[in-house]
Amino acid sequence: MTQKDTIILGIESSCDDTSAAVLKNDTILSNLIAGQSVHQDYGGVVPELASRAHLKNIVPVVDAAIKKAGITINDIDAIAFTKGPGLLGSLVVGTSFAKTLALALDVPLIDVNHMYGHVLAHFINDHGKAKPDFPFLCLTVSGGHTQIVLVRDHLNMEIIGTTLDDAAGEAFDKAAKNLGFKYPGGPLIDKYAQDGDPDRFTFAKPKVPNYDFSFSGLKTSILYFLEKETRSNSNFIEENRNDLCASVQKTIVTILMEQLERVSEDMGIKEIAIAGGVSANSSLRARLKELGLSKGWNTYIPRSEYCTDNAAMIAITGRFMYEAKIFTDQSITAQARVPFTHSGS
Ligand code: KG4
Ligand code: ZN
């Protein structure tokens, strides 16, 4: 007898992307994302504008994801949504929507920790691409988080190192802001760095105990450096844009990789993955592959669509929780900060 297919609807609304995905077993049928350009001129996400945009987007995005997947709403076996961490006003929109739809369809409701989602994006079936073996280390780098996670099993993870101040994505975005780019500037630094010299400028790297990270010193050192240089040459940034981007990028990637290397050596783990929005960075991806070759690591890099915030990663996490029968109920509420467990409870 063949097992019945399981269809999970995933919903993600933790920051400034409204996303819905339909997952059939471990294969994505649709993964749609409505971004929010409204924040570009503000240098960061404006929470009130984000929640209003989620409200506008959530119904059309879910509707389009269901249509694109070629299913009907009655085919959905469970609804998985991001409970936290994230911006409360944004999370409330996805949470309320998921609760209402689960009630209307009378299907199980699954509350997912966004950070588990980033890690478990590696288990989406991507044309047979290899998946990490347990235990593995995952460097999860996004706009809000920087973590080295020891992944013992799909639903059993532990944070080994984290940032003491800014996240890696924030370091990219703040450096980008100082260079005059709109929010989020991380992808633009990546773009201009392709034609720049990464060794042209050097920025101090922090000394941080254990396996943690710190990026606030780098932010200040870039700011002071640019202020000093533009005092004597007001066109300094324009004239050196590509080299500045390449040098900033190299510094951030080196800080991340040096810690990851230390953890790998100390724990004797050679299964190494990256996840989160910053793992879309081309230099980080290339450096991980290089290190993999020189250190004998097996490396895992999700395709970019599954690195930045997306509902596919929430759906796959929901699938593991569905199999383990970990459900929530209508009393669930969104939470801006959650403990590091699969459902953030
Ligand atoms: O995971 P994500 O989409 O949202 C959060 O959960 O925060 O990560 C967004 C972050 C932003 O800081 C953005 O600038 C950064 O990921 N990012 C990049 C690149 N693509 C996204 N940073 C550097 N290079 C990229 N290619
Ligand atoms: Zn994220």
- pTM of the model as a whole: 0.95
Residue 172 beta carbon below 6 angstroms from any ligand 1 atom: yes
What would the pLDDT profile of 177-198 be if each residue is shown by its tens digit?
999 999 899 999 999 999 999 9
Q: Ligand 1: which residue has its CA nearest to atom 13?
A: 186
Ligand of minimum distance to the alpha carbon of 275? 1
Is the C-beta atom of 277 inside 6 A of ligand 1? yes
56 pLDDT band, cuts 50/70/90, is very high
**pLDDT at residue 1 above 70?**
no
Q: Which atom of ligand 1 is least distant from the CA of 307? A: 1
In the structure, what pLDDT confidence band is assigned to residue 268 with cuts at 50, 70 and 90?
very high
Q: How crowded is residue 324: how many other Cβ atoms within 10 Å of its Cβ?
A: 11
Residue 190 beta carbon below 6 angstroms from any ligand 1 atom: yes
Indicate whether residue 173 lines ligand 1 (CB < 6 A): yes
- pLDDT tens profile 131-153: 999 999 999 999 999 999 999 99
pLDDT (average), residues 248-262: 98
Q: Mean per-residue pLDDT for 12-19?
A: 93
Domains of the chain (ranges plus CATH)? 7-122+307-323 (3.30.420.40), 133-302 (3.30.420.40)
Of the ligands numbered here, which is closest to the C-alpha atom of 50?
Answer: 1
